[in-house]
Amino acid sequence: MRLLDLRARNRNIAARFARPARGRGSAVISVRNLTKRYGDVLAVHDVSFDVAEGEVMGFLGPNGAGKSTTIRILTGYIPATAGTVQIAGLDVLSDSLAIRQKLGYLPENVPLYPELRVEEYLRFRARLKGVAAREASAAVERAMGQCGLVPMRARIVGQLSKGYRQRVGLADALVARPRLLILDEPTGGLDPHQRKEVLDLIKGLAHEHTVLLSSHILAEIESIATRVMIIQKGRLLANGKFADLATHLDDAPSIRVEAKGRRDALLLALAPVLRDCAESSDSVELRDGWVALTLRPRAGQDPREAIAERLRTAGLPLRELVRHQRTLEELFLRITAQAAMRGPEPAAAPDAASQPAAAGESR
């Protein structure tokens, strides 16, 4: 019964978010029914989305979900099995060269030539991307400035720390002033301090470029993206503004209750409230007879007052009653968990996500 309910709700969510944000003309990236198969493994399944000019699109999903595969198709590195990708109105297959000129791409593991110096490397990349010889120095200077690489200009790339390699990769993506930046896990493998620096850097770029960045760390996306897509097992589960995603889920923020007493006594006292909640509530026994309850009320409902009242009448001491706004993390876990409950559909390979190599997360 409950499962059916969830399925119906999921379809609603999917229907709501599947619609493109704008018409195809104004989109910098326009993806329609993109499918990628590696042999029997379905890495990306029927994915459609748009990214408008000036947007910072966050691309979220667990490892092996199909993020890198999708990104590699967008950059023209690998072709799709089916579906179309347009970038700035050009088809990624037939106008690959023209598209690559508008694109700054940072691949997942930031592959760089280790034997070159930072400045030499960036100069080579700038020239390769069509920056004229007399403008190359200025372009390299600007990119190094943006990415805080000026003190490192004479260092050999192979000897740089992970954080600085990441910056060199970013500077590379930026050096020819592309219209679109595609960054695959730009903060992968960085420590929290470096991560913040790189994120601030990307945030600073947002007003000049349209950005698509992938991550499996949700807090990152939450802090810089204007819109979020969630992908799992090759399927796009959600696509929208973060706030919209949260409100479009049918239920309200969860409520945490800590009260003292036996668990069944507690549940009995709160039974009328619980009956009104959308789905199962957790209860955890804490030390010294305290019990923590997490309730998920239906949308638009705030049963906090009723909870306090009922516990008081039942004579059960209450020490905490908090309403949690949904974090992206929670949202993500719930959306992906719901998708998992739906189970594999006939068209999908049962374990696309459990084969990260095939799904393109690793080379």
The answer for residues whose C-beta is within 8 angstroms of residue 166's C-beta and 6 or more apart is 110, 186, 187, 189, 190, 194, 198
User: Among residue numbers 49 through 108, which ones bind other proteins (CB under 8 A)?
Assistant: 72, 75-79, 97-98, 100-101, 103, 105, 107
Instruction: Examine residue 111 and tell whether it contacts other proteins (CB under 8 A).
Output: yes
Q: In what order do the strands lie in the sheet with 255-260?
A: 282-285, 290-295, 255-260, 318-323
Going by C-alpha positions, the residue among 248, 239, 252, 246 that lies closest to residue 296 is 252
What is the total count of residues that contact other proteins (CB under 8 A)? 28
Q: Identify which of residues 129 and 227 has a Cβ nearer to other proteins in the complex.
A: 129
Of the pair 76, 261, the CB lying nearest other proteins is at 76
Which is nearer to other proteins, 17 or 105 (by Cβ)?
Answer: 105
Residue 287 touching other proteins (CB under 8 A): no
Q: Kindly indicate which of the ranges 1-9, 111-119, 278-286, 318-326 contains the residues binding other proteins, using the contact rule CB under 8 A.
A: 111-119
Question: What minimum distance in Å lies between the beta carbon of 105 and other proteins?
Answer: 5
For the residues of 86-125, what is the DSSP string, one character each? EETTEETTTTHHHHHHTEEEE-TT----TTSBHHHHHHHH
User: How near is the Cβ of 112 to other proteins at its closest, in Å?
Assistant: 7
Per-residue binding letters, 198-227, with other proteins (x by CB under 8 A)? ------------------------------
Among 36, 45, 125, 233, which residue sits at the site for other proteins (rule: CB under 8 A)?
125
Candidates 110-118, 138-146, 185-193, 204-212 — which segment interacts with other proteins by CB under 8 A? 110-118
What are the start-end ranges of the H helices in the chain? Answer: 2-18, 67-74, 96-101, 118-128, 133-146, 162-174, 192-205, 218-224, 242-248, 263-269, 271-275, 304-314, 328-342
DSSP 145: H
Q: Give the nearer residue to other proteins in terms of CB position, either 112 or 352.
A: 112
CB of 76 to other proteins, least distance (A): 7
Residues belonging to the chain: 363
Nearer to other proteins, 172 or 251 (CB): 172
Between 176 and 270, whose beta carbon lies closer to other proteins? 176
Nearer to other proteins (CB atom), residue 128 or residue 150: 128
According to CB under 8 A, which one of 50, 172, 220, 222 is a site residue for other proteins? 172
- By DSSP bridging, strand 82-87 and strand 290-295 are unpaired
Q: How far apart are the C-alpha atoms of 280 and 297, rounded to whole Å? A: 10
Give how far the C-alpha of residue 247 lies from the chain's centroid of Cα atoms, to the nearest Å: 18
Tell me which stretch binds other proteins (CB under 8 A): 50-58, 124-132, 284-292, 348-356. Answer: 124-132
Terminal alpha carbon distance of the chain:
43
Residue closer to other proteins by CB (options 100, 326) is: 100
The structure tokens 């690793």 sit at 362
Residues 3-18 as b/e (b if ≥16 CB within 10 A, e otherwise) read: eeebeeebeebeeebe
Type of residue found at 342:
R
Task: Select the span of 83-91, 109-117, 223-231, 241-249 touching other proteins (CB under 8 A).
Answer: 109-117
**Residue 274 found at the interface with other proteins (CB under 8 A):** no
The answer to whether residues 300 and 251 touch, using CB atoms and an 8 Å cutoff, is: no
37 binds other proteins (CB under 8 A): no
Can residue 289 be called a binding residue for other proteins (CB under 8 A)?
no
x/- map, 128-147, other proteins, by CB under 8 A: xxx-----------------
> What is d(CA 28, CA 52) in angstroms, rounded to the nearest whole number?
5
Q: How far is the CB of 231 from other proteins (least distance, A)?
A: 20
Which residue, 111 or 151, is less far from other proteins as judged by CB? 111
What one-letter code names the amino acid at 249?
A: L
Q: Which residues of the chain form contacts with other proteins (CB under 8 A)?
A: 38, 72, 75-79, 97-98, 100-101, 103, 105, 107, 109, 111-115, 124-125, 127-130, 172, 363
